[in-house]
Amino acid sequence: MSPHGRGRASSGTEDRRSGPRDGQRDRRSAPRSESRRALSDLARALSDDPVQARYSPAVITGIARGVDLGLIMATGAIAISFFTPEQPGWYWLETLLLTAIAMSAVIAMEAAQLYSVTMFRSGFSQAVRLVGAWSLAIFVPWLGLGAVGLASAPGDSWLSAWWILGLAFLGIGRIVLHTLVSRWMRDGRLTRRTVIVGGGPAGEALIDQIRADTSSDVLMLGVFDDREDGRSQSVVAGLPKLGTVDDLIAFARRTRIDLVIFTLPITAEARILEVLKKLSVLPVDIRLSAHTNKLQFRPRSYSYVGDVPVIDMLDRPIADWDVVMKWIFDRFVGALMLLALSPLMLVTALAIKLDSRGPVLFRQKRYGFNNELIEVFKFRSMYHEKADASAVKLVTKNDDRVTRVGRFIRKTSIDELPQLFNVVFAGNLSLVGPRPHAVHAKAAAHRYDQAVDGYFARHRVKPGITGWAQVNGWRGETDTADKIQNRVAHDLYYIENWSVMLDALILIKTPVSLLTSSENAY
């Protein structure tokens, strides 16, 4: 299974507490270098408010297209079946026309801008556009067939019935969608929780321009600014200053942040790079506001937050449909692997029980997505009474804390197999991703975040049982800073180049890497 480092503290220690404490992830426990900051009372109160997960507009609109296409095809099939009694079966013309009209209807609705969250929230405008797009899609082919003398071939009656049925079902679907989207907007599931970096006149202008767009999905929480002089007011255009950029990192670890917008001028390159380097550890979209840009780039050079032109600096990795694809891959492939490997897991559990006293499984605290603390399952490989729950001491060659069975299952990574429970049931691990490290894991005498600049950027995605670093030979004892630096470099490469095919490739290469790098696994 996972070829992750055996000599490092993250895999070489065991938590004596084999049972769950409360089943909840502790969002506020983060590495010393990022958390433990004394946030302002307002920032702390905002971060403590319960926030629901955000739904992806791209996924919602994609599903809406698929549902519309299905409804159109279904109502067309009903119309052909029940309104062409003189024809005993389907003919090629009906089938061709059904497919062509269904596809052209979705294209027409796309052209009518019917696939956006803003349109889903509207009532009258959505209804008018739906009637127009559907009528255009069905009547233009009908008139075309009549012009060439083929209107009588498919029969006028079933096309009329299809128009009525299709409009009715599409209308019902849009009513349901309107209800759901309106509810999700009220619940905050479709809003982008946004913070502004930088105050002053530029910040005020940006905030006012975003507020002017009443259909915007942006929910502005506050302003973060490192300046402490008169250029940084405590309130900017009605938004409170919540702290500095360093405070923003701690704030984003405590609550959901979707978007960060800089108001710094494009010419302030050094300052932009400095702030960007700090914020690159967060799983958020980062944009540079261009509303005061005097360079006047072409409109296509920008993306837009409402009506505000912005320059894309960093995107959240694995977003929208990529999240759906990775979730399906993890759950489906993970379930198959769990079934296939269950006999081996049962034999391993029996061997551990017979070899030494103590529980077969244990749970260990590690850092997961966005530095949230998670508990991962492992087979116990150490003597129960010698376990190092704080992950302070690295496991070394011939370590007397490791049992006889433990040496074998650690060397072969069989001890990692229970993490399939995390993937399939808990959902806090992926099959593939950066390996989750223990809370106090160290490279030589330094914590990982001290040994690697920008270390926490690897936490922008969910951790995995195996990863790109492991299949490229970076498995084993992290006794030097160079080893953890190379491991993190491979993790960051994976994050920036993720695809389902890359995940599949890593899974295929994992057994081979286990055989070729087992000498470093203790």
pLDDT per position as a tens digit, 108-128: 999 999 999 999 999 999 999
Of 396 and 190, the structure prediction assigns the larger pLDDT to 190
CA distances from 106 to 68, 70, 123 (A): 7, 10, 19
Question: Where does a domain end: 165, 187, 209?
Answer: 187
pLDDT-based confidence at residue 522 (cuts at 50, 70, 90): low
Tokens 């590690």 sit on residue = 366
Tokens 């890593």 sit on residue = 506
Please report the beta strands in 354-466, taking only residues with DSSP state E, as ranges in sequence order: 361-367, 373-379, 430-432, 442-443, 446-447, 464-466
Tokens 């109502």 sit on residue = 75
Exposed / middle / buried, residue 408 (Cβ in 10 Å: 0-12, 13-18, 19+): middle
| Residue 459 included in any domain | yes
Kindly report the CATH number assigned to the domain that includes residue 264. 3.40.50.720
How much is the pLDDT for 6? 37
| Residue 301 included in any domain | no
If asked whether residues 239 and 344 sit together in one domain, one would say no
How much is the pLDDT for 376? 93
Question: Where does a domain end: 221, 256, 280?
Answer: 280
Exposed / middle / buried, residue 21 (Cβ in 10 Å: 0-12, 13-18, 19+): exposed
Average pLDDT over residues 449-476: 88
List, for residues 479-489, the tens digit of each pLDDT value. Answer: 678 888 899 99
If asked whether residues 364 and 497 sit together in one domain, one would say yes
Q: Taking 80 as the threshold, does the pLDDT of residue 167 lie above it? A: yes
How much is the pLDDT for 30? 45
Domain count, the chain: 3
Q: Provide the percentage of residues in the chain whose pLDDT is more than 90.
A: 53
Torsion sign (Cα): 373, 375, 380, 385 = positive
Q: What is the pTM of this model?
A: 0.84
If asked whether residues 116 and 221 sit together in one domain, one would say no
How confident is the prediction for the chain on average, in pLDDT? 84
How much is the pLDDT for 301? 66
How much is the pLDDT for 148? 57
| Full domain range(s) for residue 130 | 57-187
How much is the pLDDT for 396? 62
Between the ranges 11-25, 184-198, 440-454, where is the mean pLDDT highest?
184-198
Average pLDDT over residues 327-350: 97
If asked whether residues 116 and 128 sit together in one domain, one would say yes
If asked whether residues 66 and 120 sit together in one domain, one would say yes
Q: Taking 50 as the threshold, does the pLDDT of residue 17 lie above it? A: no
pLDDT-based confidence at residue 59 (cuts at 50, 70, 90): very high
Question: Where does a domain end: 134, 158, 187?
Answer: 187
How much is the pLDDT for 145? 60
Q: Taking 80 as the threshold, does the pLDDT of residue 518 lie above it? A: no
| 8 A C-beta contact, residue 468 and residue 400 | no
Q: Give me the DSSP letters along 75-106.
A: HHHHHHHHH-TTSSS--HHHHHHHHHHHHHHH
Q: Taking 60 as the threshold, does the pLDDT of residue 11 lie above it? A: no
d(CA 362, CA 381): 10
How much is the pLDDT for 150? 52
List, for residues 269-287, the tens digit of each pLDDT value. Answer: 888 888 999 999 999 999 9
If asked whether residues 340 and 256 sit together in one domain, one would say no
If asked whether residues 135 and 220 sit together in one domain, one would say no
d(CA 197, CA 261): 6
Segments in 437-496 forming alpha helices (H)? 448-451, 468-471, 481-496
pLDDT-based confidence at residue 517 (cuts at 50, 70, 90): low
Average pLDDT over residues 187-193: 95
Residues 157-165: contacts with CB under 8 Å, at least 24 apart:
157/83, 157/84, 158/79, 158/80, 158/83, 158/84, 158/94, 159/79, 161/79, 161/82, 161/83, 162/75, 162/76, 162/79, 162/80, 162/101, 162/138, 163/134, 163/135, 163/138, 163/139, 165/75, 165/78, 165/79
If asked whether residues 154 and 121 sit together in one domain, one would say yes
Q: Give me the DSSP letters along 125-160.
A: HHHHHHHHHHHHHHHHHHHHHHHTT-TTTT-HHHHH
Q: How far apart are the first and last CA of the chain?
A: 15
Buried b (16+ CB within 10 A) or exposed e, 276-289: bebbbbbbbbbbbb
Of 168 and 387, the structure prediction assigns the larger pLDDT to 168
Taking residue 45's Cβ as centre, other Cβ atoms within 10 Å add up to 10
How much is the pLDDT for 9? 37
pLDDT-based confidence at residue 293 (cuts at 50, 70, 90): low
β-bridge mates for residue 194, sequence order: 220, 259
